[in-house]
Amino acid sequence: MAPNWILISLFLCSFMAASSAGNFYQDFDLIWGDHRAKILRGGSLLTLSLDQASGSGFQSKRQYLFGRFDMQLKLVAGNSAGTVTAYYLSSEGPNRDEIDFEFLGNLSGDPYIVHTNVYTQGKADREQQFYLWFDPTKDFHTYSFLWNPQRIIFLVDNIPIRVFDNGESYGVPFPKRQPMKLYSSLWNADQWATKGGLVKTDWSKAPFTAFYRNFKANACVWSKGSSSCANNKSNAWQTQGLDANSRRRLRWVQKYFMIYNYCSDLKRFPGGRPRECRRSRF
Ligand SMILES: *[C@@H]1O[C@H](CO)[C@@H](O)[C@H](O)[C@H]1NC(C)=O
Ligand SMILES: CC(=O)N[C@H]1CO[C@H](CO)[C@@H](O)[C@@H]1O
């Protein structure tokens, strides 16, 4: 490539990133780990790292009550066993609501586990775990939460992997009153994360680093006790469910990539499965 071509493409790339995505300086605060959390490239890239002394983390400046949140992540590469990258929405205080992605690292070449959970009013125990259909350390991939009054959908590259329906009509609480912030942290969890804690973090490989870019929130922002959706560019997410094509893709993920579903773990619920498991088809 001629040098001026390189300059032009560099210019176009940075221009598109800035115009199509939020800016990490505007949207997030670095809250843990000092220099281990960094915002780079004018606000278009964020990195978290973990060493033997500490992990690191960030949180959104804003609180949200419903929305669609997309972030591209590139997870810790190489031997990431023992590390956990958590990416989640959470309210504050007791009886919190929380919607979680947690990425459990592994030895080089062995698969990450994507662990998901939903807390409603402080109660969780709703784990589902998946392998991915790609190597999440090679490139950036988009991980999304869609949260509206009817349901929560977890998506990976726009493919739904999990749906949690609003089950209030059959007595299951649903997160809809407590605003949430978006958080991410990279930490050491080698007492349980990899092969149930058998594989420990190899500190000779530290620091471990995860990368974030292209954050988009199409969401209702909570401020001073009320919610404003004025900046939602498209409000399709507010009523979005699964069309036939998404249902097909969800079934594909659940058939080939799901490795744990609390709803199928009968010995854990001797008194009968949780209500939402008896209702939901997924
Ligand atoms: C790590 O790799 C092993 C072997 O393939 C697999 O059983 C396990 O589910 C993988 N993930 C984690 C986080 O332990
Ligand atoms: C500009 C825009 O689309 N605003 C909508 C965002 O969402 C709220 C709440 O559902 C709607 O009332 C607005 O019309």
Q: Is 84 in the pocket of ligand 1 (CB under 6 A)?
A: no
Residue 82 to residues 112, 136, 250, Cα–Cα distance (Å): 11, 16, 29
Q: Is residue 2 part of a domain?
A: no
pLDDT at 14: 35
Q: Is residue 221 very low, low, confident or very high in pLDDT (cuts 50, 70, 90)?
A: very high
> Tell me, what CATH number does 107's domain have?
2.60.120.200
How far are the Cα atoms of 18, 62, 68, 144, 227 from residue 182, in angstroms, in the given order? 20, 8, 11, 11, 16
Q: Count the domains in the chain.
A: 1
Residues 6+ apart with CB under 8 A from 204: none
Residue 70 predicted with pLDDT over 60: yes
Half-sphere exposure of 97 (CA within 13 A, CB side): 20
Instruction: Tell me, yes or no, whether 3 lies in a domain.
Output: no
What's the confidence (pLDDT) of residue 16?
34
Q: Which residues of 246-260 are buried (b: 16+ CB within 10 A; e: fewer)?
A: beebbeebbeebbee
Which residues contact ligand 2 via a Cβ below 6 A?
A: 229-230, 232, 235, 238
Confidence of residue 184 (pLDDT cuts 50, 70, 90): very high
43 lines ligand 1 (CB under 6 A): no
Tell me if 120 CB under 6 Å of ligand 1.
no
Domain containing 169 equals: 15-279
Q: Is residue 267 part of a domain?
A: yes
Examine the residue annotation and report whether 102 is marked as an active-site residue of this protein.
yes
**Average pLDDT, integer, range 47-70:** 97
Q: What is the pLDDT of residue 235?
A: 80
Catalytic residue among 98, 127, 168, 276: 98
Q: Quick one: pLDDT at residue 128?
A: 98
For the question of whether the overall pTM of this predicted structure is more than 0.75, the answer is: yes
Does some domain include residue 7?
A: no
pLDDT value at residue 252: 98
| Residue 146 in contact with ligand 1 by CB distance below 6 A | no
- Coil, strand, or helix at residue 236? helix
98 part of the active site: yes
What pLDDT was estimated at residue 280?
Answer: 65
Q: For residues 187 and 272, which has the higher predicted lDDT (pLDDT)? A: 187
Read off the pLDDT of residues 78-91 as tens digits, 9 standing for 90 and up: 999 999 999 999 99
Report how far residue 164's alpha carbon sits from residue 110's, in angstroms, rounded to the nearest whole number: 29
Q: By the 8 A CB rule, do 51 and 207 touch?
A: yes
Has residue 1 been placed in a domain?
Answer: no
7 CA to centre of own chain: 34
Assigned domain for 73 exists: yes
- For residue range 102-122, list pLDDT tens digits in order: 999 999 999 999 999 999 999
Q: 195 CA to middle of ligand 1, Å?
A: 5
Q: How far apart are CA 228 and CA 212, in angstroms?
A: 26
Structural domain includes residue 10? no
The ligand with the least distance to the CA atom of 75 is 1
**Is residue 9 a part of any domain in this protein?**
no
Q: Which ligand is nearest to the CA of 79?
A: 1
